[in-house]
Amino acid sequence: MPDHPPTQNGSWRHQLGSPNFPPESDRYHLYVGLFCPFAHRVLLTRELKGLQQFLPMSIVKPYPKEGGGWRFPSTNDEYAGSTIDHLFHSEFLHDVYFRSDPKYEGKYSVPVLWDKKTNQIVNNESEDIMRMLNTAFNDFLPANDTARRELDFYPSPLRPQINEINSWMMPNLNSGVYRAGFATDQESYEENCRIVFATLDRLESHLSNNPRNIYVLGPHITEIDLKLYTTLVRFDAIYQQHFKLMIGSIRHNYPHLHHWLKHMYWNVAGVMETTDFKHIKENYSKSHADVNPRAITPLGPEPNIERWTEKDEQWRKDQEQGSESLKGHM
């Protein structure tokens, strides 16, 4: 029988690597939406770790949401970037949830990690799935692919710092944009909007005080970079106007965060490839009738991400060479 462990919010919290869920190639299936920042962080982990052949996936459409929740296209050509449900040919994501638990009464969210052998959901918490994919399939990677085998987004020496940043970045920024955007009164909106920008200020200050960091915590990418990227890449594109976060933009008011964002998008293989601005913008603008009742998708900003320039490239070379000339190129 499928086992749905009791949790306070109705989540599945099984762990890959436990006796009931050992890592196996093509045993598990991932459900995501390209619009969702929480699914995006899992997609980035899968992409950067090179797990595509071990972990197939299906992608829901970015809209509509009403009338049954997230749904799959009827064909892979119906909405570019979305796919049919490769496992069950379901119409809705909730059909997948009910296969695992016919009495499920929670939300039908992405990401979802499905076990084809036991026919149930393993986990639908993005941070859990990120951390499982970080190491679970290392032994399946080619022996000569040492870069991906050794790539660790949650390394032991940095865990205290990662956990500390997670403790305030997640509630105040990653989830904070939603609390501001979905606020139902002026006081709540203003309070949460200020919290979002105070958190951006804190991250900007961190990068400013550590100017030699290519990534948030130094020379190596961690889960903090993945979590921050999936929020910031949506910020100017949709959050700013849709969620009324108008105090500032990443590109105009946060130079260090903007530089970091450009580096992630243009220079980290797999990041640009997993970022779909059409899915992102049409999801928010066409799925939140209470926020945007006419479902008009705004144009801009143009470009979605500013180009990586020769000046930026010189900065990166200085980092790699340990040059002391960094400040002259910022």
Catalytically active residues are 36
Can you list the pairs that 199-203 forms with residues at least 24 positions away whose Cβ atoms lie under 8 Å? 199/168, 199/169, 199/172, 199/173, 200/173, 200/248, 200/250, 200/254, 200/257, 202/168, 203/169, 203/173, 203/228, 203/254, 203/257
Q: Which amino acid is at 100?
A: S
- Name which of 84, 59, 18 is nearest 274 in CA terms: 59
Reported in sequence order, the residue ranges of the chain that DSSP labels E, i.e. its strands, are 28-32, 57-59, 112-115, 120-123
Backbone φ/ψ region at 68: left (φ over 0), alpha (ψ -120 to 50), beta: left
Which two tokens mark 93? 């994501």
What is the DSSP code (8-state) at residue 326? G
Which residues, in sequence order, are bridge partners of residue 32?
59
Which two tokens mark 248? 């500032």
Place of tokens 């026919």: 119
